[in-house]
């Protein structure tokens, strides 16, 4: 085992897009578990848009950052965390973590399913997509969907799950023409567009001339205004995230026709996936057989090497990923 541990720390609060200068890698001896804890060697890290929000205040400066991580117990002083066990925990952004059983989840092993799926379709990303469709949109068979941020982790999982749940037409928007084409070819979208190629409302009208029943919104801003215009009667907006604003110090207000919300009896509902952990088992029951049969594929961009975690995070904020952005420990 390597006897040096690395942690990532935030050194300053950014205005707008963060840069590598807002972070430092700090070396220390590998920590020792104390009674009631275990030492975990981390294997996979999730870098997420909400980390950008946390950089504005919730991440303590000059301290190891936190994030969702999978690792293997390598030294244990608690019988609930046996050595060799693969666990999920939130003390990420570091090569080694000392954790207690109350802050870890032992991960079920599913034959034929890659471990990284526990951070993508079977993890918080997949749970967000699944809850958005089943609990917030209350998807009905044949519903036509529009998904913003369609090429990201939540966006790709939303389309794949929606298809399996019997949705109708799937329209998605993404940041490049290449991503838009990929989504149609590989992810199951019927129509897609690059949101940089014109006003979103015009692009959406062209992509979904007959309207939509559900809008799953990962982006906010213009996308939200456009989708409210395109929704049919009793349409639903699932507010998942607002990534178009995370790097914008003062976001402009979103113009939309407020009367539409009344006249079309629309429902606009946001949610936080952390309030739906009770749906995790249902997600396994739904998704694992589909993964095993090949009807469901995890969409992931995997970056190798913990030393590239900051680059992976910054790249994800600028659209460098297709599917869930994941960092993997060097073999």
- Of 18, 33, 67, 153, which lies in the binding site for ligand NAP, with binding defined by CB under 6 A? 153
Structural contact between residues 116 and 302, judged by C-beta atoms closer than 8 angstroms: yes
Structural contact between residues 189 and 172, judged by C-beta atoms closer than 8 angstroms: yes
Q: Which of 245, 203, 185 is nearest to 220 (CA)?
A: 245
Query: How far, CA to CA in Å, does 87 sit from each of 80, 129, 186?
Result: 11, 22, 31
- Residue 14 sits in the site that holds ligand NAP (CB under 6 A): no
Which residue number, 67 or 152, has a Cβ lying nearer to ligand NAP? Answer: 152
CA angle 48, 277, 280 (to 5 degrees): 95
User: Tokens 């998942």 sit at which residue?
Assistant: 240
Contacts of ligand NAP in 156-195 (CB under 6 A): 174-176, 179
Q: How many helices (H) and strands (E) does the chain have?
A: 9, 15
Please report the beta strands in 148-230, taking only residues with DSSP state E, as ranges in sequence order.
Answer: 170-174, 191-194, 212-217
Which residue number, 78 or 311, has a Cβ lying nearer to ligand NAP? Answer: 311
- Of 55, 171, 219, 231, which lies in the binding site for ligand NAP, with binding defined by CB under 6 A? 219
- Of 33, 67, 155, 225, which lies in the binding site for ligand NAP, with binding defined by CB under 6 A? 155
From the CB of 26, what's the least distance to ligand NAP, in Å? 26
- Residue 49 sits in the site that holds ligand NAP (CB under 6 A): yes
Burial class (CB in 10 A: 0-12, 13-18, 19+), 226: buried
Site string for ligand NAP, 234-263 (x = CB under 6 A): ------xxxxx-------------------
Which residue number, 73 or 243, has a Cβ lying nearer to ligand NAP? Answer: 243
Per CB under 6 A, which region of 42-50, 85-93, 98-106, 158-166 contacts ligand NAP?
42-50
DSSP 15-45: SSS--GGGEEEEEEEPP-PPTT-EEEEEEEE
Number of residues this chain uses to bind ligand NAP (CB under 6 A): 31
- Residue 303 sits in the site that holds ligand NAP (CB under 6 A): no
Which residue number, 104 or 244, has a Cβ lying nearer to ligand NAP? Answer: 244
- Of 9, 116, 158, 218, which lies in the binding site for ligand NAP, with binding defined by CB under 6 A? 218
From the CB of 132, what's the least distance to ligand NAP, in Å? 8
Q: Which of 250, 303, 318 is nearest to 17 (CA)?
A: 318
Q: Which two structure tokens, joined as six digits, stand for 64?
A: 């190891």
- Residue 70 sits in the site that holds ligand NAP (CB under 6 A): no
Contacts of ligand NAP in 264-283 (CB under 6 A): 271-273
DSSP 150-211: TTBHHHHHHHHHHHHTT---EEEEESSHHHHHHIIIII--SEEEEGGGS-HHHHHHHH-TT-
From the CB of 271, what's the least distance to ligand NAP, in Å? 6
- Residue 152 sits in the site that holds ligand NAP (CB under 6 A): yes
Cα 103 to chain centroid, rounded: 20
Structural contact between residues 88 and 116, judged by C-beta atoms closer than 8 angstroms: no
Which residue number, 276 or 306, has a Cβ lying nearer to ligand NAP? Answer: 276
Q: Which of 124, 96, 95, 123 is nearest to 110 (CA)?
A: 123
- Residue 154 sits in the site that holds ligand NAP (CB under 6 A): yes
- Residue 224 sits in the site that holds ligand NAP (CB under 6 A): no
Calpha distance 110→318 (Å, rounded) = 33
Q: Which residues pair with 61 in a beta bridge?
A: 10
- Of 67, 123, 126, 149, which lies in the binding site for ligand NAP, with binding defined by CB under 6 A? 149
From the CB of 82, what's the least distance to ligand NAP, in Å? 31
Judged by the rule CB under 6 A, the positions of this chain that interact with ligand NAP are 48-50, 124-125, 128, 149, 151-155, 174-176, 179, 218-219, 240-244, 271-273, 316, 319, 321, 324-325
């Amino acid at each position: 085992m390597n006897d040096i541990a690395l942690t990532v720390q935030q050194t300053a609060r950014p205005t707008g897009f963060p840069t590598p200068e807002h972070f430092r890698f700090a070396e220390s001896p590998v920590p020792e578990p104390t009674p009631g804890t275990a030492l975990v060697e981390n294997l996979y890290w999730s870098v997420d848009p909400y980390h950008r929000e946390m950089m504005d205040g919730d991440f303590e400066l000059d301290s190891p950052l936190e994030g969702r991580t999978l690792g293997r117990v390598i030294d244990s002083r608690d019988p609930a965390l046996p050595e060799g066990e693969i666990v999920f925990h939130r003390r990420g952004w570091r090569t080694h973590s000392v954790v207690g059983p109350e802050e870890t989840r032992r991960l079920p092993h599913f034959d034929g399913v890659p471990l990284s799926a526990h951070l993508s379709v079977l993890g918080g990303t997949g749970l967000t997509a699944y809850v958005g469709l089943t609990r917030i949109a209350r998807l009905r068979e044949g519903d036509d969907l529009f998904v913003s941020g369609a090429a990201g982790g939540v966006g790709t999982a939303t389309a794949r799950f929606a298809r399996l749940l019997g949705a109708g037409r799937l329209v998605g928007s993404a940041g490049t023409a290449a991503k838009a084409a990929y989504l149609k070819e590989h992810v199951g979208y019927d129509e897609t567009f690059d949101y940089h190629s014109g006003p979103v409302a015009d692009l959406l009208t062209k992509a979904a001339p007959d309207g939509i029943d559900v809008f799953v919104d990962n982006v906010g801003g213009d996308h939200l205004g456009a989708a409210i215009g395109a929704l049919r009667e009793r349409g639903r907006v699932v507010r998942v995230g607002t990534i178009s604003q995370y790097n914008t110090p003062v976001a402009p207000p979103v113009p939309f026709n407020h009367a539409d919300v009344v006249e079309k009896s629309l429902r606009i509902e946001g949610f936080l996936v952390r309030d739906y952990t009770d749906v995790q088992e249902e997600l396994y029951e739904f998704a694992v057989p589909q993964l095993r049969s090949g009807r469901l594929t995890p969409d992931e961009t995997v970056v190798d090497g913990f030393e590239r975690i900051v680059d992976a995070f910054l790249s994800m904020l600028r659209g460098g990923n297709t599917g869930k952005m994941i960092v993997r420990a060097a073999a």
